[in-house]
Amino acid sequence: MNHWYHSWVAAVRIARRDAWRFKGRSSLVLAMIALPILGVSAADLTLRSAELSTEQQMERDLGAADARVSDPGMGGVPIHQSPDGRNYMTVENFDNKPWPDGSADIRAAFPAGAKILKDTSGSGKLRTEHGLLNTVIHELDATDPMAKGLMTLGQGRFPDKAGEIAATAHFLETSGLEVGSELTARGLATEYRIVGSYELPGALKSDEVLARPGTFLAPLDKALKADGLPGTAAGSTYLVSVDGDGFTWNMVKKANAHGAVVTSRAVALAPPADSEVPLHQRDDWSDYEQSTAARTAELAAIGTVVGLAMLEICLLAGPAFAVGARRSRRQLGLVGANGGDRRHIRAIVLSGGLVIGFAAAVVGTALGLLLTFVLRPLLEDYMGQRFGSFDVRPLELLGIGLLAVLTGLLAAIVPAVTASRQTVLASLTGRRGVRRSSRVLPVVGLIATGLGIAITLFGATATDSIVIVAGGSALAELGIVALTPALVGLFGKLGGWLPLSPRLALRDAVRNRGRTPPPSPPCWPPWRARSPWRRTPPATTYSSAPPTRHGCRTVR
């Protein structure tokens, strides 16, 4: 049984072998398409790997505890909070009253029998090899089992007595100090010995020192205030561990009633339905980040950026396909002589785009994965946090790969259509078609350029929409591409004043305007192919082909 796709099988085979035969040209186009794919797939993998799962995020936030309870400083008035604890509002409306202020009785918020670990942070200026460095001072019993996972010990050990501290690796690098060094804070005479280094997996660039509870912040705050200086601005949260099912949503709501905000592992892993979240039931609550409008705007922005990137690649790779089609014109002529019609010729040239696009997808994605894997420590340093895991998303990578294939196909469209319009005889004999430039194209280009600039200016001045600005830019760019043959033609008129070499180059560019702007119908360059029809060229003959729609005729 005959099927149309069987002819595509032959077309893909020819394109695949041609791509292999002309490795240099294929590599060039492949690189053009594969490089952005490499970047995008590496970015996807990096971002996905940096995105933490709920369990990983909870480990970094809570260590081995079940919850972290904090005081929002609203005087202990009842509050409503979101399940993740990032958003909260007072239950009572304080629009026409003074906003509540002050500490809550946080201990009242702890469930009965819970184990508590105080976690205090403040800041101070520490003396380093290079001067004073504003540093986070953290007080926590890091040896407590509840603290496991909050920080990763690098060298030495965590402090286990007064006068000892550990410091983040970044602090040591910034300060010029090392494990074993002595350290003092401005305003405090006490010397602290650095006994270990650690890192915060979620904040690798954090300058922080860790001391036992009550051994650094309180004396420093006292000394600073005695000198009339601002204190350490210390604040505390509490890691809580409870028996049973963890810190449940009901426990969270009870803690909210005492004015405390809770981040709970159990709630994060199994969030309550919206109907059980009082905050989400309030009329004055809205979450922009999760709204449809926000997602639509984000998708439109991504789509526009991806579209622009594909346009740029097509404009770069298109001429390479055009040159390839011209070099293969004898072969395409043979296909035509053996019964290939226009769709078959188009299929062969398009298959070139398909094959190289596919290869670029494979190479780009594979290199993206490999580079991300190899450069993981550098990427983590750049991102300022450790990856949760090496998170490969096959569907997303497949989508990125499909973009490469689509780009290859798009870049080959114009060369494919142009090649298919050649007569079989012209392709076989290598006769040069002299084609007058389109008169419509420059006008269309001018209009598109003007319109694109207007839209871009409007988008930049009257709105904040990146989509309008990018869309206008794309239109203007396409307009300039359409205008290029006319512009090249205008430049060609300057050739008479130029010395021989640049004059020849300019005239050649003018005669072959099509290869300068890829989307325009190219004129064939002089071709050295031998005629298959006779060894000795005859006297001047005229092609049997009818005049083209541009009013030109093939002449030899």
Q: Which lies closer to another protein via its Cβ, residue 491 or residue 542?
A: 542
Give the separation between CA 255 and CA 266, rounded to whole angstroms. 15
- Least distance between another protein and beta carbon 329 (Å): 12
Q: Which lies closer to another protein via its Cβ, residue 382 or residue 533?
A: 533
- Terminal C-alpha separation, the chain: 44
Contact 201, 152 (CB under 8 A): yes
Contact 330, 430 (CB under 8 A): yes
Q: Which lies closer to another protein via its Cβ, residue 157 or residue 553?
A: 553
| Strand partners of residue 133 | 126
- Least distance between another protein and beta carbon 319 (Å): 22
Q: Please compute, for residue 84, the number of CA atoms within 13 A of its CA located in the half-sphere on the CB side.
A: 7
- Least distance between another protein and beta carbon 19 (Å): 9
Q: Which amino acid is at 211?
A: A
Q: Which lies closer to another protein via its Cβ, residue 328 or residue 407?
A: 328
- Least distance between another protein and beta carbon 413 (Å): 20
Residues that bind another protein (CB under 8 A): 2-4, 6-7, 9-10, 13-14, 17-18, 21, 330-331, 334-342, 344, 423-425, 428, 530, 532-536, 538-539, 541-544
- Least distance between another protein and beta carbon 555 (Å): 9
Q: Which lies closer to another protein via its Cβ, residue 14 or residue 136?
A: 14
What number of H helices and E strands is found in the chain?
16, 12
- Quick count: other Cβ atoms within 10 Å of Cβ 174? 17
Q: Which lies closer to another protein via its Cβ, residue 2 or residue 290?
A: 2
- Least distance between another protein and beta carbon 5 (Å): 8
Q: Which lies closer to another protein via its Cβ, residue 125 or residue 550?
A: 550
Contact 510, 491 (CB under 8 A): yes
Give the separation between CA 340 and CA 330, rounded to whole angstroms. 13
Two tokens, residue 289: 């980040």
- Least distance between another protein and beta carbon 482 (Å): 28
- Least distance between another protein and beta carbon 7 (Å): 5
- Least distance between another protein and beta carbon 357 (Å): 18
Contact 543, 555 (CB under 8 A): yes
Give which of 481, 484, 476 is closest to 448, Cα–Cα. 476
Q: Which lies closer to another protein via its Cβ, residue 336 or residue 433?
A: 336
Give the separation between CA 488 and CA 122, rounded to whole angstroms. 66
Give the separation between CA 488 and CA 508, rounded to whole angstroms. 11
Tally of residues, the chain = 556
Looking only at the bridges linking them, the beta strands covering 188-199 and 164-168 are: parallel
| Strand partners of residue 119 | 237
Q: Please compute, for residue 417, the number of CA atoms within 13 A of its CA located in the half-sphere on the CB side.
A: 11
Q: Which lies closer to another protein via its Cβ, residue 301 or residue 529?
A: 529
Q: Which lies closer to another protein via its Cβ, residue 333 or residue 471?
A: 333
Helix, strand and coil percent figures for the chain, each rounded to 5: 55, 15, 35
- Least distance between another protein and beta carbon 436 (Å): 18
Give Cα 400 to chain centroid, integer Å.
Answer: 11
